[in-house]
Amino acid sequence: MAYNEGGGRRDNNNRREREREDANPEFVEKVVSLNRVAKTHKGGRTFTFAALCVVGDGKGRVGYGLGKAMEVSEAIRKGIDDAKKHVVTITRSGSTIPHEVTGVYGAGRVILKPAPPGTGVIAGGAVRAVVEAAGISDIRTKRLRSSNPQNVVAATMVGLRSLRDAAQVAQIRGKSVKDIV
C-alpha cells in the first residue's frame, strides 16, 4: 500500500481516471436518461441508478452505453466508459445523411430523413442526443412505437450504421459510381 507524506493513502485510481479523461477530450458526452430502480429486500428498499449515455466526436463517430451503480455519478461514469468502448463511424453527406433510413431495435422504430442545409435537427430527446453527438446538423426524424429511451437510442444507432453513400454501394455491387447515380 502506498502512502503520501501526510500519512494518508495515495489514490492511484483517481490518477488513472484523470489520465483516461485527458486521453479522449475530443468526445462530447451526453446523458440521455437516468433511471432510479428500487428493489425491496427484507431490511427495506435498495436504490440503484441506470444511466444511458451517448458519446460522439461531432465528425461521424458516435457510441452509446448503459451504466448501473448505487450512485448517480458512478452510473454516469460507467455509462460513458461503455459508450466509448462501442463507438462506430457513420456515413454522412455534408451536414446531413445520404438517404432516408428506418432503424428498428426491439419495439423501437426511428425514421431518419435527410434535410436541406439550414433545416437544423428536428428530433426528440433520445434521437437528438445521438444525432448531435454524431455531428449531423440537418436532419428530420420521427420516433414510432416505443418511447423507451434505450430502445430509441439503439434503433437510431441501427439506422445510422445502415447508411451507405454512392461509393460504398458501387463497391459492393462491383460497378462504378456513375452506374449507380
pLDDT in tens, the chain (181 residues): 455 555 555 555 554 454 555 555 688 999 999 999 999 999 899 999 999 999 999 999 999 999 999 999 999 999 999 999 999 999 999 999 999 999 999 999 999 999 999 999 999 989 999 999 999 999 999 999 999 999 999 999 999 999 988 888 888 888 888 887 7
Q: What pLDDT score was predicted for residue 150? A: 96
Report which of 179, 130, 121, 177 is spatially closest to residue 153, judged by C-alpha positions: 130
Query: Among the residues of the chain, which ranges form H helices?
Result: 12-23, 72-85, 125-134, 149-161, 166-173, 177-180
C-alpha distances (whole Å) from 4 to each of 7, 9, 18, 109 are 6, 6, 18, 54
DSSP state of 93: B
* Domain range enclosing 73: 27-86
Report which of 87, 85, 113 is spatially closest to residue 100, judged by C-alpha positions: 113
Q: What is the residue whose three cell numbers read 461514469?
A: 77
Residue 104 lies in a domain: yes
Q: What pLDDT score was predicted for residue 170? A: 86
Give the total number of structural domains in the chain: 2
Residues 72 and 102 in one domain: no
Q: What pLDDT score was predicted for residue 172? A: 87
Q: What pLDDT score was predicted for residue 5? A: 54
Q: Where does a domain end: 86, 102, 134?
A: 86
Report which of 26, 82, 23 is spatially closest to residue 59, judged by C-alpha positions: 26
Answering whether pTM is above 0.85, one says no
Residue 35: CA atoms inside 13 Å, Cβ hemisphere, count? Answer: 15
Q: What pLDDT score was predicted for residue 21? A: 52
Residue 70 lies in a domain: yes
Residue 105 lies in a domain: yes
Q: What pLDDT score was predicted for residue 80? A: 96
Residues 69 and 97 in one domain: no
